[in-house]
Amino acid sequence: MPLPRFDRLPAERRDHILGVARRHFAEHGAEGASYNKIIEAAGVSKTAAYHYFDGREDLLTAVLDGVQGRLLDALGPWEPARDADDFGARFAAGSAALATHLGGHPEDLALADAAIGRTPGGPWLGWFGALVTDGRRIGLIRDDVDHALMVSATAAVVRAADTWALALLTTAPGTGDPGAQLWTLLRGLWGAPAAGQEPNDAH
């Protein structure tokens, strides 16, 4: 995490530094971006940089925390559903909002896997944990598979489906129905069919 002196910078300056770092990490990879080139592009001296961050990994952590925070903001908090139809509608809204955010923020898309996968558990899997718990409560998600495994598998399917859907929009816009494809995958994983309205039909 950034050192206290970084937090005391004006918000505009903090955003500028993190924005430059995010662009470099997105372009060159979380492991490939040069710390020296980042701070030079941000207009920060080496001396000042080490007053703000312990080093490259500290800066990367701050950038990835921001990416993960924006992904979770796009999803919105998971609220307990009234029934299977409501569950489907809530899930469809969250997954659509996430896909929209990733489609409009290529840097977040490029760093999403690194942001999600850098630590076990955490708030990302916490969101899917709440979803799986709720789905089991209403009988939509099977309960004969370990809870943590089901959470990880569900999160992985959603992430893979978002990547596929965004690629489809680029290469073959207007074809297929990503929402229906995702729901088909998840119904197979969860082992319990949704009652009534499909999430991609929810309004």
Does the structure show a pLDDT above 70 at 5? yes
Quick one: 29 and 114 in the same domain?
no
Q: Compute φ and ψ for 51, nearest 5 degrees.
A: -85, -20
Per residue in 34-74, pLDDT tens? 999 999 999 999 999 989 999 999 999 999 999 999 999 99
CA distance 108 to 100: 12
What is residue 200's predicted lDDT score, i.e. its pLDDT? 44
Per residue in 69-124, pLDDT tens? 999 999 999 999 999 999 999 988 988 888 888 888 999 988 988 888 776 678 88
Alpha-carbon dihedral sign for residues 121, 67, 160, 26:
negative
Task: Give the list of residues 6+ apart from residue 124 with CB closer than 8 angstroms, or none.
Answer: 68, 71, 72, 115, 116, 155
Quick one: 59 and 73 in the same domain?
no
Instruction: Please give the model's pTM, rounded to 2 decimal places.
Output: 0.80
What is residue 92's predicted lDDT score, i.e. its pLDDT? 87
96 contacts 43 by C-beta, under 8 angstroms: no
Quick one: 92 and 53 in the same domain?
no
Residue numbers of the domain that contains 131: 67-201
Domain limit, last residue, from 66, 89, 119: 66
178 contacts 160 by C-beta, under 8 angstroms: no
Quick one: 116 and 24 in the same domain?
no
CA distance 147 to 189: 13
Quick one: 195 and 114 in the same domain?
yes
Quick one: 170 and 96 in the same domain?
yes
Domain limit, last residue, from 66, 94, 109: 66
Does the structure show a pLDDT above 60 at 202? no
* Buried-state track 80-108, b at ≥16 Cβ within 10 A, e below 16: ebeebbbbbbbbbebbbebbebbeebebb
Quick one: 71 and 47 in the same domain?
no
